Structure 1
Amino acid sequence: MKTRTLTSALLSSVIAVGLVGTGSQARAEFPEKPVEMTILFGSTAQTIGQLLADLMSKNLPEPVVPVSRAGAGGAVGYQYVNSTDPDGYNIVWNSNSISTGYHGGQMDINYSAFAPIAKVSVEVPAIAVRADSGWDSLTDMAADIKERGTKLKVGASGKGSFTHLTTEAILASQGLSDMAVHVPYDQGRAPVELIAGRLDAAVQWPGQFISHHEAGTLKILCVTSAKRISQLPDIPTCAESGADGMDIAMWRGLAAPAGTPPEVIMSLEAAAKAAAESEEFKEAAKTIGFEIDFADHAAFGDLIARDDAIIAEMMEGIGMKAQ
C-alpha cells in the first residue's frame, strides 16, 4: 500500500512537471498578443505595409496590426518605436528614411537604434511631367528650362524625405539645382498637383504615376535605378535619360528596437518571408508597382549599414546633410 502511494505521488509529480513544462512552452510562444507595425508614410508605403501586416498575421499566433505614425520624414514613427520595449511587440515598416532622417537632422537616432528583421521590397523613384510638356528626357527638360530662364517647380515628399533627396540628385545631375523649387506634397498628392498644372515635374513612386501615364495625362521620363524596372520595361533609366551613373532605389523592410531577442526576430522574419513569397503579395507587386526583394535579418543589416554611408555622402554632396 505504501509503495503504491509513493508511486502514485511520483506519477502525479511527473504529470505536474509535464503540465508545467507544456504551459511554459506555450507561454514562450511569440507573439502572445498583437504586434503593432508602425507605418511611417502614406501612399504606396502604407498600402504595401498594410498588406504585409495582413499576410504576416496568417503565419503568426496573433495578428500584426498596422498603425500609421507619419510625420517629419519618418522621424515621428522611428522615435516612437525606439521608445518602446525591445520585446518584438512594436516593429517599424522602415526604409532608407532612417538614414535620410538622421543625416538630415530630423532625429538624433540612427539605424543602430534598431534590430533588422527582414528586407521585403524595393521601390525605385520615377520622375514624371505632364504629357503636353514637350519633354521626352531629362536633357530635354534641362535644356528648355535653361533656355527660358524660369524656375522648375518639382513636387516630391516633404523636406528631407527620400524622394526629396532623389529630386535634388536629379536636379544636380542636370545643372538645375539653382533653377528649381522643391514643392513638398505628402500623402501622394504630387501627381495630382502635376496634372493640375501647379507643378512642372514630380518625383514619386511609379505606382503613383503608372495609371496616369497609361491614360496619357502624364509622361514618366525615367526611373532612378541602374536598371529598368519590371513594371515599366519601356521607360529608360535616368542614366539613359541624361543623368550619368545614377543608381538610387529605396528598400523597405522591418525592424524592431535594438536588443529584441534573436528568437523573436527569427519568428518575425519567418512570417515576413512567408508573406513575401505568397501569391497575393506577388500580385500586389505587379499592381502597385514595386519589386519583391527579400533578405534575412543579417543580410538586411549589412545593406542598411552600407546604404547609410552612401546616403550620408550623397546628402553632404548636395548640401542636405545637417552640420
Structure 2
Amino acid sequence: MFETTRRRLLAAPALLAASGAMAQSFPSREIRLVVPWAAGGGTDIIGRRLQPMLAAEGLHTIVDNAPGGSSVVGLQRVASARPDGYTVGLASTSILALMASGTITLRNENFTNLVRISEDPMLLLVSARSPWHDLASYLAAFREKQGGMSVGVSGTRGTVSHIFSVVMAKALGADYIFSGYPGGSRAVADVLGGHIDSVILKPNETMSYIREGQLRPLGTFAPARLSQLPDVPTFGEAGIDIFPYGPITQMTYLAAPAGLPPAIAARLTEGFRKAVLSPEFQAFAAENGFPADGLAGAPFGKLCDDVQATMLTVGNTLGVFNAG
C-alpha cells in the first residue's frame, strides 16, 4: 500500500502539469453546447444567439439539441461527459427542482455550475383567437370550468412552469388539465392550433408571436410587470399570491461535468460571461424581456443551492413531484 501511495505522490506533479498544459491550450477544438430542449424553444434560441459572441471570445460551439425528460436526457449527457470543457449544457431551475425531488438520478454534485445566462420570468398566454382578453376573464373561466381548462408547459411535472400552474389552480380552488411538452415551440403550436387553452412559457419563446398578434399574454408570474410588456399585469395584481412559499427564480445557466479543472472552468466562465454581457446579447435580452447578468463564482453557487432548497420546499408542500 505504501508503494502504491508513493507512486501516486510521485505522479501527482506530472498530472497537475498535464492538467495545466491542457487548460492553457483550451479550447483547441469546437465545444459541444447541449441544449436539453427541442429546437426552436427558448433555451435553444438563447444558445444559438450566444454562438457568435462566444466565437468572438475564442469559444466555438456546436449546439446539440437533446430533448427529453424535462431536460434530464440532455443534462445526463453533460454529466456523463469527460470533464475536459468540450461538453457543456444549458440547465435551468427546473432541473434543480427535479434533482431536489429525488425523482431522477442526477444530483447537483454531478455538475460544475458556472454562470447564469438569463433570468426567465414566465408568462400565461392564450391564442389571440381565444375568448379571454384579460387575466380576470381567464381566471373566472378557470374557476367555472372546474377541471376543464388545459394548461401547456415546456417540461413535465415538477418543473417551474408546472409548479406555477399548480399554485394558480390551488389559489383558484379548481383542477385543470396539465399538458407537458418537450419544448416551448410545440406548446405554442398546440395553443395556436386550439388543442389546448393556454400555455405558461418564457418571453423569449413567445415574444415574436405576441408581436405578430398570434399570442395574447394575460399575466406574468413575476413580482413586477415586465418592461417589454408593461400592460400585462402580475398575478399579484389579480389577488393571487404566486410566491406563498418564497421567491421562485426561473433561470438558465451554464453547467459542465463535475471534476472540471479550475483553469478550464475559469476560461469557460470568462468567455460565457463576456458573451452574455456583450452589447449584442444584452440588446437581444432587452428585446425579449429578460435580464441577463452573467452571475458567476461563489454568489452563483450559493444561488443554485438556495433555489434548489426553495424548490424542494415548494414541491413537497404542493405535492407536485408526484401529482398535479
**TM-score range relative to shorter protein:** 0.7 to 0.9
Aligned to 1:180: 176
- Quote how far apart the aligned CAs of 1:207 are: 2.8
Alignment equivalent of 2:85, drawn from 85, 88, 104 = 88
Aligned to 1:257: 257
**Structural mapping, 1:132-281, within 5 Å:** 132-137=130-135, 139-149=136-146, 151-160=148-157, 161-176=159-174, 179-187=175-183, 188-246=185-243, 247-281=247-281
**Structural mapping, 1:283-294, within 5 Å:** 283-294=283-294
Alignment equivalent of 1:65, drawn from 58, 62, 67 = 62
Kept in 1, the 8 Å contact 2:168–2:242? The answer is no
Say whether 1:78 aligns with 2:75: yes
Using the aligned pairs only, state the percent identity: 26
- Quote how far apart the aligned CAs of 1:302 are: 0.7
TM-score normalised by L of structure 1: 0.83
CA 1:279/1:316 → structure 2, altered by over 3 Å: closer, same or farther? same
In structure 1, C-alpha distance between the alignment counterparts of 2:320 and 2:138, rounded to whole Å: 23
Q: What secondary structure does 1:235 align onto?
A: coil
Aligned to 1:126: 123
In structure 2, C-alpha distance between the alignment counterparts of 1:237 and 1:306, rounded to whole Å: 24
Gaps of 5+ in 2: 1-16
**Amino acid in structure 1 at the alignment position of 2:35:** I
**Amino acid in structure 2 at the alignment position of 1:34:** E
- Quote how far apart the aligned CAs of 1:73 are: 0.7
Say whether 1:111 aligns with 2:108: yes
Higher mean C-alpha deviation, range 145-154 or range 199-208: 145-154
CA 1:150/1:308 → structure 2, altered by over 3 Å: closer, same or farther? closer
Q: What secondary structure does 2:237 align onto?
A: coil
In structure 1, C-alpha distance between the alignment counterparts of 2:176 and 2:22, rounded to whole Å: 60
- Quote how far apart the aligned CAs of 1:186 are: 3.1
In structure 2, C-alpha distance between the alignment counterparts of 1:53 and 1:96, rounded to whole Å: 22
Kept in 2, the 8 Å contact 1:75–1:106? The answer is no
Greater gyration radius: 1
- Quote how far apart the aligned CAs of 1:216 are: 4.1
Higher mean C-alpha deviation, range 148-157 or range 290-299: 148-157
- Quote how far apart the aligned CAs of 1:288 are: 3.7
Kept in 2, the 8 Å contact 1:105–1:322? The answer is no
In structure 2, C-alpha distance between the alignment counterparts of 1:51 and 1:218, rounded to whole Å: 23
- Quote how far apart the aligned CAs of 1:162 are: 2.9
CA 1:185/1:75 → structure 2, altered by over 3 Å: closer, same or farther? closer
Higher mean C-alpha deviation, range 214-223 or range 76-85: 214-223
Q: What is the number of residues matched between the two proteins?
A: 297
**Amino acid in structure 1 at the alignment position of 2:47:** G
**Amino acid in structure 1 at the alignment position of 2:122:** P
In structure 2, C-alpha distance between the alignment counterparts of 1:314 and 1:127, rounded to whole Å: 20
Higher mean C-alpha deviation, range 51-60 or range 98-107: 98-107
- Quote how far apart the aligned CAs of 1:71 are: 0.9
**Amino acid in structure 2 at the alignment position of 1:294:** G
Alignment equivalent of 1:31, drawn from 27, 33, 57 = 27
Higher mean C-alpha deviation, range 118-127 or range 231-240: 231-240
CA 1:37/1:315 → structure 2, altered by over 3 Å: closer, same or farther? same
Kept in 2, the 8 Å contact 1:224–1:248? The answer is no
- Quote how far apart the aligned CAs of 1:48 are: 0.5
Gaps of 5+ in 1: 1-20
- Quote how far apart the aligned CAs of 1:167 are: 1.8
Q: What secondary structure does 2:194 align onto?
A: coil
Q: What secondary structure does 2:234 align onto?
A: coil
Q: What secondary structure does 2:47 align onto?
A: helix
Q: What secondary structure does 1:291 align onto?
A: coil
Please list the CA deviations of residues 194-232 of structure 1 after superposition, one character each: whole Å capped at 9, or x if unmatched. Answer: 232222221111233334434444321111111222221
In structure 2, C-alpha distance between the alignment counterparts of 1:46 and 1:166, rounded to whole Å: 22
In structure 2, C-alpha distance between the alignment counterparts of 1:54 and 1:162, rounded to whole Å: 29
In structure 1, C-alpha distance between the alignment counterparts of 2:30 and 2:194, rounded to whole Å: 45
CA 1:65/1:243 → structure 2, altered by over 3 Å: closer, same or farther? same
